[in-house]
A and B are shown apart, each in its own frame.
Chain A
């Protein structure tokens, strides 16, 4: 289990951090983001990389769980 806290980071940092975690292969990865833009960008990148993504609300933020 790998956690990536990408809250408050501007584009494209959330995607870069998540991609690094995917490349390191530490599944499942839980990514915390705080904007829908970051959520959609991370989701699109992870799905393109062949991962499965589930999303849930985490207070004011959004948690994405990425597994392969």
Chain B
């Protein structure tokens, strides 16, 4: 039975089913309270967690998102249920931390990770086309490095308890979300009173959705970066069929729920600064490709015991803190006194995206290894 299920989840039907279920759940989470076109956004939600902990003080994006917690714990449940939990760590962790930081800085320049780019497109936000184009461009650069021997090295097995650290951190976040303690006067835990951080689906619903997606994604290896990488690297559309299904199903759900708004300017929590939408996601795509997984996949890997993926996640959360503390994140289009203004990046943000691209290229060029073949 377990073998048969494993075969099913690894099949084309399995990945399509996972994409379809995510495509149903994400727009529903928006209907139930999550911000617009943000039913699920790994980057935004990790940024909100950084804010809730006071790692940055952008008051409108602070909340402990149960979906993220569910992704890790759901994956862990699946890994244990199918005897796949394997603690491993030690494949260039500091490099993965830096890749995580710049992946987040790029994503926040665009205002969303690949998951949200897909959901924005499914809701009619045409800026997402540039985001997804940038993502594909960044991944294509990463594939060239992979073809030329880029490799961060082997991760040895480690103590099972080491693999439990990220799931336990997530469980601690869940406790902080439920108890909502105040640690100092005017201090964290912060929950936004206005803005996107104040918009959220009920705790139990969000956690259950996260657990289900985490479980399914661990079984099917759902990955929004791998979807594009595998097509470029080996003409394999297996993972892409999952991501494609997600977009189609989410688009249908948005139409049914009345959440579709076709256009470019003034899209919710988005800007129409085209160059930086493209460049931000190009940075993210390159960083994800060099790290071997999209931000969701890194959470699922962390749930099944991968300590290096866990370090990438911590890098992303740290990157979010820098992004808001140093004013690197994109600001959305807004209407001021009835006049529409285009949002986008500050000069700091532009500099950070360029710096990130340079750092990722250096990592790609310098970290090649001839893997020892026995």
Contact = CB atoms under 8 A, between A and B. Distances in A.
A9 B238 CA distance: 21
Q: Is the interface of B mostly helix, strand, loop or mixed?
A: loop
Contacts of A11: 226, 292-293
Contacts of A17: 371, 373
Contacts of A15: 234
A5 B370 CA distance: 12
Interface in B209-237: 221, 226, 229-230, 233-234, 236
A10 B308 contact: yes
Interface string A34-66: 111100110011001000000000001000000
A10 B155 contact: yes
Interface string A1-41: 00111011111110111010000000000000011110011
A40 B229 CA distance: 17
Nearest to B225: A11
Interface stretch (B84-92, B165-173, B261-269): B84-92
B236 to A, nearest CB: 7
Nearest to B238: A44
B374 A5 contact: yes
Interface residues of A, number: 24
B371 A34 contact: no
Interface residues of B, number: 31
A12 B10 contact: no
Interface in B149-179: 151-152, 154-157
A35 B157 CA distance: 11
B372 interface: yes
B372 A10 contact: no
B226 A12 contact: yes
B373 A12 contact: no
A34 B157 contact: yes
Interface string B122-153: 00000000000000000000000011000110
Nearest to A48: B236
A3 B82 CA distance: 28
B156 A45 contact: no
Nearest to A60: B157
Interface string B357-374: 000000000000001111
A8 B154 contact: yes
Contacts of B146: 12, 16
B13 interface: no
A36 B6 contact: yes
A16 B293 CA distance: 15
A36 B3 CA distance: 11
A48 B238 CA distance: 11
A1 B82 CA distance: 32
Interface string B295-338: 00000000000101000000000000000000000000000000
B86 A12 contact: no
Contact of A45 (B88, B234, B371): B234
B374 A9 contact: no
Nearest to B92: A10
Contacts of B306: 10
Interface of B: 6, 10, 82, 84, 86, 88, 91, 146-147, 151-152, 154-157, 221, 226, 229-230, 233-234, 236, 238, 292-293, 306, 308, 371-374
Interface of A: 3-5, 7-13, 15-17, 19, 34-37, 40-41, 44-45, 48, 60
By Cβ-Cβ distance, the 3 closest A-B pairs, closest first, are A8-B154, A10-B292, A40-B10
